[in-house]
Chain A
Amino acid sequence: MMLLVYTLMSAVLVAVGIFGLASRGNAAKILISIELLSSGAVGLVFFPMLAISRSFVFSQSLMILFLSVDGVTLGITIAVLLMAVKRSETGDMNKLNELRG
């Protein structure tokens, strides 16, 4: 029962992340949205797996792996966004549309 609640929570996190990405243009808000999206996605994978596999150790170690990969991607994301902000001298990512067709 609790697992279902956690899974639903994760789905809510994903939905909020996607909404944030779709509606906000500011670099900091995009960063927060990405973070929400990725942690929600990790939960969305982890909790159902826990229910199916019943092997707590395996699922837990997988979770730790996902979280650390998530941390690394966050670092890269921050770096990219910082560079973008520095280059464009604006926090609005929608202004960065130089590659538009």
Chain B
Amino acid sequence: MDSVWLIFLSPAIGSALSLILSPIKKRRIIEAIAVISSLISVFTSAELFFLRAPLLNSPAFIQMLSGPIAPVLMVDKLSALMSFVVALVSFLIVVYSIGYMGEDPSYIRYYSLIQLFIAGMLGLVLSGSFLYLYLFWEVVGLCSCLLIAHWYEKPEASRAGVKAFIVTRFGDVMLLTAISLIYLQVGDLRYDVVSLHLGSLPSSFISMTMLLSLGGAFGKSAQVPLHVWLPDAMEGPTSVSALIHAATMVKAGVYLVARLVTLSLEYGSVDIVALSGFSQVLLWIGSITAFLAATMALVTYDIKRVLAYSTISQLGYMFAGLGAFSSVPFSEAIFSSMLHLTSHAFFKALLFMGAGAVIHATGTRDMREMGGLRRSMPITSTAFLLGAIALSGIPPMNGFFSKDAIMEVVMSASPFIYTLLLITAVLTPFYIFRAVLMTFFGEQKRHAHEASISMTLPMIILAASCFITPSITSFMLENNPLAGFSVDITTALFSISAVLLSLVLFYLSYWRGLRLELAFARKILEKGYYFDDLYIRVLMPVFRTVMSGISWGVDRVLDALSYRIADQANRFGNFLREIHTGMISHYVAAFSLGLIILLAMALGVMLT
């Protein structure tokens, strides 16, 4: 068996093993299983990434059985890169969990689910057919829902889990429709067969399927208007937020779009004109999401929600970068997006880990109650600051190079989108340094102490890797470890001046008392542009009315029919019940009667 299978089977086995071994109630054993299983994934995916994938000229398909629905994996540069990043970040977060979840009583459920999630995510990026892509897509969705609701005693947590599940369902239904359409047209769901046939399909069909599958991507990656679940998902444990809602699962949508683009343009021969609507939607939704989420991050006081909005905003950048594929060579668009995806996976996991350490130490998520933690938590604050610098796009951290790559491709796609992303780049340092300032500087309000080694060590590793991640991506996608560090002077100057402008504004507003009286805007932002209210006040009553109409129809027609049939069966049963009196004499009389009838029949037969 190919070692590629081991990448996602080892966490899956680990997940089952934790459940099987749960009766012995040894925390160390369950933790060891999780660490070892994710470490195996890291090693096998590193082997795939560094040794095997660079030698591939065309995607390799690894099949377990034969037949159209047999499990099949596809290894190409994209999936090798994704699986390595996912496995590495997952491993670090499992190690972090040992400290973070150290006192949690339901640790078995936690570790079992988190390993199942890792298996699902690795399976998602490695699968070689839309069937398995969708299967693992749902596995990660389910694990996300269950892990958000890990502390289900809190009503907000269980509500947030359900919300995440339901909101992403809207997108998933669209994705399922797209996959079904592909199956109806092509008759197969394996990537190689599909990409072979895509070129010969009508362009209207292609654009429709692509747009439908975008629904799935936008739901999973929390893009406007399906972003409302991600801020609420912060009710889950911070390690879960770091893994699922920052580093891996929310990237599944970006991966799906990148995969569709490679399937149709690199491996298939789809006319790029058929995809122009697709690229426009990506550009617009991506940039609008980036901007709206960044503005929402400006006003929230919950440290995790700041990071959640920031994640939504950065995912918007990635989608916008992908959307540029129709204006620049598509490999450049994918490269820029993947570069940012890798950078973001590392620095956002780092930021979440820092936030988790702070929450663990202070016992609150409200930044107004923190402050001054710089002195008591030096490692965490340094790591968080490095993550903030990377997120803001300040050289020499990875965020600068990756954001610059996206800016470069978007500039050639559309100047308007570019401007919108540039404004977002002004907002980004502002909100993240606001969080840094409120959390780590100023006067200390709560007693806190530095986190344990299992929490600080992953942070140190991630902070160090934030300097080199561009070379990981460029090594894989461009065969040149330094390609990610090349910058276009014009866009770089614009980006740096955006950051400088942001820092100047930051200085003015926090040290020079620059107050913009924007109470009205602040209200809108705190309400998240009323998306939640729109859904709850407007869409849900409409939906409810339509559904109750349908349910009335079902009651009147289908139910009435089935009740009628059931009534008849019931009546017949009651009739049969009447003749079972339990009196011997009745039974004897009945069988004597039967005997007489039988004898008479026999006599009749004999006589004729």
Contacts and interface: CB of A to CB of B under 8 A. Distances in A.
13 contacts: A18-B588, A21-B588, A22-B588, A22-B589, A22-B592, A24-B585, A25-B584, A93-B584, A94-B582, A94-B583, A94-B584, A96-B582, A100-B581
Interface in A11-45: 18, 21-25, 30
A94 to B, nearest CB: 5
Given A18-B592, A22-B592, A97 B581 contact: yes
Interface size class of A (residues with CB under 8 A): 10 to 19
Interface in B559-595: 576-577, 580-585, 588-589, 592
Nearest to A21: B588
Contacts of B576: 101
Contact of A98 (B582, B584, B585, B588): B582
A22 B591 CA distance: 10
Contacts, number: 32
Contacts of A99: 582
B600 to A, nearest CB: 15
Interface in A23-73: 23-25, 30
Interface residues of B, number: 11
Contacts of B584: 21, 25, 30, 93-94
Most buried by B among A23, A24, A94: A94
Given A22-B592, A23-B585, A100-B581, 15 more contacts: A18-B588, A18-B592, A21-B588, A22-B585, A22-B589, A25-B583, A25-B585, A94-B582, A94-B585, A96-B582, A97-B582, A97-B583, A98-B582, A99-B582, A100-B580
Contacts of A97: 581-583
Contact of B585 (A21, A96, A100): A21
Contacts of A24: 585
Nearest to B576: A101
B585 A101 contact: no
A24 B583 CA distance: 10
Contacts of B581: 97, 100
Nearest to B582: A97
Interface string B219-249: 0000000000000000000000000000000
Contacts of A21: 584-585, 588
A23 B577 CA distance: 22
Contacts of A93: 584
A19 B383 CA distance: 100
A30 B576 CA distance: 26
Nearest to A98: B582
Interface string B587-608: 0110010000000000000000
Contacts of B585: 21-25, 94
Contact of A101 (B577, B588, B589, B592): B577
Contacts of A30: 584
A100 B582 contact: yes
A93 to B, nearest CB: 6
A101 B592 CA distance: 22
Q: Please provide the 6 A-B residue pairs with the shortest distance between their CB atoms, ordered closest to farther.
A: A97-B582, A100-B582, A101-B580, A101-B577, A21-B588, A22-B588
Contacts of A101: 576-577, 580
B524 to A, nearest CB: 70
B599 to A, nearest CB: 11
Interface in B414-465: none
A10 to B, nearest CB: 15
B431 to A, nearest CB: 74
A75 to B, nearest CB: 20
A45 B476 CA distance: 96
A13 to B, nearest CB: 15
A97 B580 CA distance: 10
A97 B588 CA distance: 15
A25 B581 CA distance: 14
Interface string A83-94: 000000000011
B393 to A, nearest CB: 80
Most buried by B among A98, A99, A100: A100
Nearest to A94: B583
A93 B592 CA distance: 19
B479 to A, nearest CB: 81
A98 B584 CA distance: 12
A17 B582 CA distance: 20
B220 to A, nearest CB: 57
Contacts of B580: 100-101
A81 B583 CA distance: 15
Nearest to A18: B592
A48 to B, nearest CB: 14
Contacts of B589: 22
Contacts of B583: 25, 94, 97
A100 B579 CA distance: 9
A78 to B, nearest CB: 16
Contacts of B592: 18, 22
A98 B583 CA distance: 10
